[in-house]
Amino acid sequence: MAADATSTPSAASNNAAAISVAEQLEQLGAARKLVLETPTYYDRIVKGVLPIIGPTAPLALRRWGAEFLAESLATPVLAMRDKENITVAVLDTLRGLLDGAAEDAIVLKACVAAAASAYPVALRWIIHNSYHTESWEQMSAIKSRILRIWDGAPTPVRLSCIKFAQRVVLAQTASNGMEQKYGGLDISLNMIPANHPILDPRQLEAEATGLLDRMLGVLQDNSSDALLVDATLNCLSILTRTRPNTSNRILNTVLNFNPLKLANSPMTPKTKVLIRSLEKTTRMFLTHLLRRDPNNPLSGRIQQYVERLMRSRAEIFDEAGRKRALADQAAASYGDAKRQKVEASAPLFSIPPLGPGPHTLAGVFTLTDNLGLQAFDVAQLPANLTAMVSVRTLASLDEKILDLAVSGIRDRLTSLYAAGAAAAAAAQPAVINAATAPLGVEEEDDDYEPDLTPAEDTEQILNKLDNAPPEEPMEPAVDASAALALGPFTLPPPLTLDAEVATKLCQTAAARLFWPLSTLKESGAVRKPKAGINRLAASSYDRDSWLTLVTRLATRSTAGLDGGDGGPGSGIKSEQEAVLDRAARVSLGDSIREMLFTYILEDWRRRIEIAVAWLCEEWYNDQLTKRNNSGGELHYEKCALRLVDGFLSYITAQDKVLTRFLAEIPELSRPLLGKLKGLCADPTTVQLALTSLLYLVMMRPPVREIALDTVAEIWTEHEDARPLAAKYLVKWRPGFVESQTQGSGSGAPPANTAIAT
Amino acid sequence: MEAANGNAGSAATAQNGQQEAESGFRLKFCTVCASNQNRSMEGHLRLAQANYPVISFGTGSLVRLPGPTITQPNVYKFNETSYDSIYRELEAKDPRLYRANGLLNMLGRNRVIKWGPERWQDWQVGMPRVKHETDQGSVGMEAGVPDIVITCEERCWDAVVDDLLNRGSPLNRPVHVINIDIKDNHQDASIGGRAIVDLADSLNKAALEEREKVGAAVFDAGGAASRANFDERVPEVLGEWQERWPGLPSTWTLSWF
């Protein structure tokens, strides 16, 4: 403290005055802190300090006061009404400070800033309180004073003047209502009624236009004073966005401004900063507008301007850019200390050659040094898991590492082979144990082609691993080497199939046919109409295609093989019959039929199409069988009856699919239609049954007679169904009902009634 | 109230006050980076240690910190998460990893500077920051309006300038927005922190000179341009600073709060 006092002798010499000023500053500082903490004191404190900071006060106090006024009039914590109170109260002091003939620049700068905040508030005040002309007169005086000192003032004051002018323009032009409602930004010409006693909107707007021109002058002059240009550009955005009348004027001026004019002058550090600032600020302003208002009619021009600007800047700073690029490259080549590349330093593992002595086959293929891993028996894992792990590993494995491993193993085998050959020359070849002999090692080695793709190498390794015997040491070295050296491998003969196993396998195979159905997609509804008669059965790989395949496998795959006795296919057949017990056998086709039947009945309403398709295939196959006279089994009638039986028990009155099913399947028989009679026992399904039959009568002439016979039978057997059946019979078989009723006297009807009830 | 303050006045404090009014003038700073964690907080700490009033912000949408892999960052909300809670969470997750990559060290530093990361776009300029007394650099920042904003990355500068254009400058207060490109790692942040303090000292010196000189001189409507003032000297000071720190490219503009 003492050192401070001595180091500033001027302050010490002016002791008497300094103490009072310093004291006051301290008090004022405390007061400011108080209002910051408790904004409700603003009104009292601002009014309280006014006498202390007036035009006659010492400079330090005037500076403090002007900055405090600027801060208080701008603070966002006060509501508009509080702001109005304070604003009206400070105008007099503000005017006094601004009028000071030789005022300090810092005081002026803060006072103009305070006036900028005060202006819209004062305008709003006078709009609503036109009687209070005094405050508006003061505000007008402040305005004209500021506009007068604007041009000749030091730069910091001019900055504030630009901002003041911007606030005047903002307040005195028509708004589009897009601005935020705070800080008085929303005060605009819209608020001034046309018949206001003091304010004339047209005059105010004209003044605003003039001020905007004056603001834009700095851009029109293509000034290189970055400070003024930046300050102007950075306060134009809200005008352009929210005051439509100013938008074109501003944009045209900015688009004609060349921020890179300075580039022609010698490049000092300061000019570099200035050029960059002018260019970047202009670009930010324009891109900001582009982003906020992409539909602006001028956006095309703005876009072009921005692109041109970026190109020019790139040219100007080209040299610097290139230097930087080089520096970056250098940095990259030395590596970033924080982000070291892991790949480069990844250690490539080495494969130690096998030592002398006996080795297990697993030992030959073991690459890891980890004892725990070496002891691990992969055979413990379920096969599907192993497969998954292998596939994943192979997919992500680095090719180089795989090559390294393969060649390492090859070297080991070569050395083993060499050792084995030497031993074999010395010793008697041992008996080869087919179960433990390595698979095709010799051929493997001889046939090895370096050009093989890694995938094949991988497969070879996997095959070998798969066939690796459980880990147990092989026979003594001689045996091992002999085994390695010799032994063409023959596949063990397949197990003979007995009928039971074959049947089971058939069923499994059939079941697997149905697995994909749950995951396959429904065929697109779009392409269905196009297919028509030219469609290919199974070319789209969707569910329909798969079902076509399934139905054909069921009907045709083994047709003629497991068919009846004798016929052209008897050569194969008799062989099979020698092996299989025909009685116990269920053919593959029948297994598939069984599953297809179950599959359709699971959701028969939606799968009726599949049923039709299946029956078509059965029918077609039966026709082929008949034509060949092979005497094979016929399936169509059986399957159709079974299906109808299957879903008739679930049918309800709404199931029109029955009609469709009967109409679409290729052949109808009496027994099949006879099934419909059962429906007539239930009054709710009578209509469905009869309508379906009527449809057949009308639309399928070949079966008309059978269908009518069925209707007649229904008429005879089910009394409840008589009215409807009679209606159809009258039309399609005239005379039938009459002939029956005529004979009714004879006693047949009672019998019928008995059946019906 | 005035009476109470009057009692507090004494010769000693008065001299101290005079001292502050003249040579104790300090520009108020604001540092900005993406997440308000590394670069802006390094700058915040250094400026606070150099006795500058300072606040700091991030311009990102969320606070993002590196995680176990590049695709698993640790993400937090601005203004709602404290440095301390992030510290404790990461320490619980994987103390070795986060100690090794310097995150815990950084968060440990940050939590003694201020409560948590703040987002620039959510900051209401001019709201008194009287509740931040425990923050480092809070002294002098009570009014919540800095003179200089220093961003640490070009896109943060863009975000700040664009945001200021968007706000519509209701406070009518000029602000110098300066970008210094600092790579987002601990080492470069530390270098950047030193550079920021160097710039702050240079700017403050210019501002102090203005206050002393212009105070003595009188405003002459015609010839005041002969004496350069602070705002005008900013590009010059920045240009000189750039010569001293060629590895940290800078951008500057004068915008409005």
What is the ipTM score, two decimals?
Answer: 0.88
Asked if the model's pLDDT at residue B230 lies above 80, the reply is yes
pLDDT category of residue A535 using cuts at 50, 70 and 90: low
The answer to whether A23 contacts B17, with C-beta atoms less than 8 Å apart, is yes
Q: Sign (positive/negative) of CA torsion A712, A715, A721, A724?
A: positive
B9 chain-A contacts, CB cut-off 8 A: 23, 26-27
- Give the minimum alpha-carbon distance from B241 to chain A in angstroms, rounded to a whole number: 9
Q: How much is the pLDDT for B209? A: 86
CATH code, domain carrying B238: 3.40.50.2300
Task: Give me chain B's average pLDDT, please.
Answer: 85
Residue A365: how many CB atoms within 10 A of its CB?
17
| Pairing of β B148-151 and β B29-33 | parallel
pLDDT category of residue A561 using cuts at 50, 70 and 90: low
Cβ atoms A173, A222 nearer than 8 A: no
Residue A350: how many CB atoms within 10 A of its CB?
9
Asked if the model's pLDDT at residue A391 lies above 80, the reply is yes
Distance, in Å, from the CA atom of A742 to the CA atom of A725, rounded to the nearest integer, reads 17
Distance, in Å, from the CA atom of A405 to the CA atom of A425, rounded to the nearest integer, reads 30
Q: Per mean pLDDT, which of A377-386, B25-34, B214-223 is the most reliable?
A: B25-34
What residue type is assigned to position A625 of the chain? T
Distance, in Å, from the CA atom of A727 to the CA atom of A724, rounded to the nearest integer, reads 5
Q: How much is the pLDDT for B227? A: 53
Read off the pLDDT of residues B102-135 as tens digits, 9 standing for 90 and up. Answer: 999 999 999 999 999 999 999 999 999 988 889 9
Q: Among partner residues A27, A226, A324, which is closest to B6 by beta-carbon distance? A: A27
Domain that holds residue B146: 27-59+128-256
A152 chain-B contacts, CB cut-off 8 A: 221-222, 224
Asked if the model's pLDDT at residue B56 lies above 90, the reply is yes
- CA nearest neighbour of A235 among B168, B221, B131: B168
B172 chain-A contacts, CB cut-off 8 A: 70, 74, 113, 116-117, 160, 163-164, 167
- CA nearest neighbour of A190 among A259, A114, A127: A127
- Taking only residues 63 to 122 of chain B, the set having a beta carbon closer than 8 angstroms to any beta carbon of chain A reads none
B214 chain-A contacts, CB cut-off 8 A: 104-106
Nearest CA in chain B to A268: B239
B215 chain-A contacts, CB cut-off 8 A: 59, 63, 104, 106
CA A183 → CA A194, A750, B97, B257, distances in Å?
Answer: 25, 102, 48, 11
- Give the minimum alpha-carbon distance from A270 to chain B in angstroms, rounded to a whole number: 5
Asked if the model's pLDDT at residue A677 lies above 80, the reply is yes
- CA nearest neighbour of A573 among A560, A586, A587, A585: A560
Lookup: tokens for A753: 């009634």
- Give the minimum alpha-carbon distance from A295 to chain B in angstroms, rounded to a whole number: 18
Cβ atoms A130, A192 nearer than 8 A: no
Read off the pLDDT of residues B61-101 as tens digits, 9 standing for 90 and up. Answer: 999 999 888 888 899 999 999 999 999 999 999 999 999 99
- Taking only residues 237 to 256 of chain B, the set having a beta carbon closer than 8 angstroms to any beta carbon of chain A reads 238-240, 242-243, 249-256
- Taking only residues 180 to 219 of chain A, the set having a beta carbon closer than 8 angstroms to any beta carbon of chain B reads 180, 182-185
Cβ atoms A98, B219 nearer than 8 A: no
Q: Among partner residues A105, A179, A324, which is closest to B229 by beta-carbon distance? A: A105
Distance, in Å, from the CA atom of A170 to the CA atom of A167, rounded to the nearest integer, reads 5
- Taking only residues 694 to 733 of chain A, the set having a beta carbon closer than 8 angstroms to any beta carbon of chain B reads none
CA atoms within 13 A on the CB side of B207: 19
- Site of tokens 């079902």: A547
The answer to whether B174 contacts A163, with C-beta atoms less than 8 Å apart, is yes
Q: How much is the pLDDT for A369? A: 72
- Taking only residues 8 to 47 of chain B, the set having a beta carbon closer than 8 angstroms to any beta carbon of chain A reads 8-9, 11-19, 21-23
pLDDT category of residue A685 using cuts at 50, 70 and 90: confident
Q: Which residue has the higher pLDDT, B235 or A629?
A: B235
How many domains is chain B built from? 1
- Site of tokens 């590596």: A335
Burial of A726 (0-12, 13-18, 19+ CB in 10 A): middle
Q: How much is the pLDDT for A462? A: 58
Burial of B53 (0-12, 13-18, 19+ CB in 10 A): buried
Q: Among partner residues A102, A154, A167, which is closest to B225 by beta-carbon distance? A: A154
Lowest mean pLDDT among A85-99, A504-518, B94-108: A504-518
Distance, in Å, from the CA atom of A409 to the CA atom of A365, rounded to the nearest integer, reads 6
Distance, in Å, from the CA atom of A585 to the CA atom of A593, rounded to the nearest integer, reads 14
Distance, in Å, from the CA atom of A49 to the CA atom of A32, rounded to the nearest integer, reads 10
Asked if the model's pLDDT at residue A748 lies above 60, the reply is no
Distance, in Å, from the CA atom of A53 to the CA atom of A38, rounded to the nearest integer, reads 22
Q: What values do phi and psi take at B29, rounded to 5? A: -115, 160
Cβ atoms B79, B118 nearer than 8 A: yes
The residue-averaged pLDDT of A382-386 equals: 84
Any CB–CB contact under 8 A between A634 and chain B? no
Cβ atoms B228, A203 nearer than 8 A: no
The residue-averaged pLDDT of A555-583 equals: 50
Contacts (Cβ under 8 Å, ≥6 apart) of A694: A711, A728
In a domain, residue B165? The reply is yes
- Give the minimum alpha-carbon distance from A22 to chain B in angstroms, rounded to a whole number: 5
| A171-A119-A240 Cα angle (round to 5) | 30
| B-interface mutation test, from A112, A230, A271, A324, most B Cβ less than 10 A away | A230
CA atoms within 13 A on the CB side of B129: 25
The answer to whether B229 contacts A117, with C-beta atoms less than 8 Å apart, is no
Lookup: tokens for A31: 């007061």
Q: How much is the pLDDT for A77? A: 93
Distance, in Å, from the CA atom of B193 to the CA atom of B38, rounded to the nearest integer, reads 10
Q: How much is the pLDDT for B3? A: 39
Asked if the model's pLDDT at residue A502 lies above 60, the reply is yes
A268 chain-B contacts, CB cut-off 8 A: 239
- Taking only residues 310 to 339 of chain A, the set having a beta carbon closer than 8 angstroms to any beta carbon of chain B reads 324, 337-338
- Give the minimum alpha-carbon distance from B47 to chain A in angstroms, rounded to a whole number: 22
Task: Give the start-end residues of each E strand in A271-391.
Answer: none
CA A499 → CA A505, A621, A626, B126, distances in Å?
Answer: 10, 26, 28, 93
Read off the pLDDT of residues A27-81 as tens digits, 9 standing for 90 and up. Answer: 999 999 999 999 999 999 999 999 999 899 888 899 999 999 999 999 999 999 9
The answer to whether B172 contacts A70, with C-beta atoms less than 8 Å apart, is yes
The answer to whether A272 contacts B239, with C-beta atoms less than 8 Å apart, is yes
Distance, in Å, from the CA atom of A523 to the CA atom of A710, rounded to the nearest integer, reads 38
Residue A311: how many CB atoms within 10 A of its CB?
10
Q: Give the DSSP letter of residue B136.
A: T
Q: How much is the pLDDT for A447? A: 38
In a domain, residue B9? The reply is no
B22 chain-A contacts, CB cut-off 8 A: 8, 11
Cβ atoms B238, B178 nearer than 8 A: yes
What residue type is assigned to position B171 of the chain? L
| A-interface mutation test, from B127, B256, B257, most A Cβ less than 10 A away | B256
The residue-averaged pLDDT of B12-28 equals: 55
- Site of tokens 């599959």: A599
Cβ atoms B123, B33 nearer than 8 A: no
Give the count of Cβ contacts less than 8 A between chain A and B: 231
Distance, in Å, from the CA atom of B236 to the CA atom of A291, rounded to the nearest integer, reads 32
The residue-averaged pLDDT of A651-655 equals: 83
Any CB–CB contact under 8 A between A267 and chain B? no
Q: How much is the pLDDT for A179? A: 81
Read off the pLDDT of residues A229-258 as tens digits, 9 standing for 90 and up. Answer: 999 999 999 999 999 999 999 999 999 999
Q: How much is the pLDDT for A575? A: 44
The residue-averaged pLDDT of B2-26 equals: 45
pLDDT category of residue A534 using cuts at 50, 70 and 90: low
Radius of gyration of chain B (CA): 20
Radius of gyration of chain A (CA): 51
- Site of tokens 């109170």: A85
Cβ atoms A497, A579 nearer than 8 A: yes
The residue-averaged pLDDT of B209-218 equals: 62
| Pairing of β B174-180 and β B250-256 | antiparallel
DSSP string of B157-222? HHHHHHHHHHHT-TT--EEEEEEE---SSHHHHHHHHHHHHHHHHHHHHHHHHHHHHHHHS---TT
Distance, in Å, from the CA atom of A602 to the CA atom of A517, rounded to the nearest integer, reads 13
pLDDT category of residue B144 using cuts at 50, 70 and 90: very high
Contacts (Cβ under 8 Å, ≥6 apart) of A557: A588, A589
Any CB–CB contact under 8 A between A29 and chain B? yes
In a domain, residue B135? The reply is yes
Q: Among partner residues B229, B251, B255, which is closest to A156 by beta-carbon distance? A: B229
The answer to whether A26 contacts B242, with C-beta atoms less than 8 Å apart, is no
Any CB–CB contact under 8 A between A230 and chain B? yes
- Give the minimum alpha-carbon distance from B143 to chain A in angstroms, rounded to a whole number: 7
The residue-averaged pLDDT of A171-181 equals: 87
- Give the minimum alpha-carbon distance from B222 to chain A in angstroms, rounded to a whole number: 6
% chain A with pLDDT above 70: 75
Any CB–CB contact under 8 A between B185 and chain A? yes
Asked if the model's pLDDT at residue A318 lies above 90, the reply is no
Asked if the model's pLDDT at residue A754 lies above 50, the reply is no
- Give the minimum alpha-carbon distance from A330 to chain B in angstroms, rounded to a whole number: 14
In a domain, residue B88? The reply is no
The answer to whether B162 contacts A288, with C-beta atoms less than 8 Å apart, is yes
- Give the minimum alpha-carbon distance from B83 to chain A in angstroms, rounded to a whole number: 23
Any CB–CB contact under 8 A between A280 and chain B? yes
Q: How much is the pLDDT for B256? A: 96
| Pairing of β B174-180 and β B63-65 | unpaired
Q: Among partner residues A5, A76, A149, which is closest to B127 by beta-carbon distance? A: A76
Asked if the model's pLDDT at residue B250 lies above 80, the reply is yes
Contacts 24+ apart (CB under 8 A), A158-161: A158/A228, A159/A109, A159/A227, A159/A228, A159/A231, A159/B174, A159/B231, A159/B254, A160/A108, A160/A109, A160/A110, A160/A112, A160/A113, A160/A116, A160/B172, A160/B174, A161/A112
The answer to whether B18 contacts A152, with C-beta atoms less than 8 Å apart, is no
Any CB–CB contact under 8 A between B123 and chain A? no
Q: Per mean pLDDT, which of A196-205, A453-462, A504-513, A550-559 is the most reliable?
A: A196-205
pLDDT category of residue B23 using cuts at 50, 70 and 90: low
Distance, in Å, from the CA atom of A627 to the CA atom of A555, rounded to the nearest integer, reads 16
Any CB–CB contact under 8 A between A588 and chain B? no
Q: Per mean pLDDT, which of A591-600, A616-625, B48-57 is the most reliable?
A: B48-57
Lowest mean pLDDT among A147-156, A745-754, B139-148, B244-253: A745-754
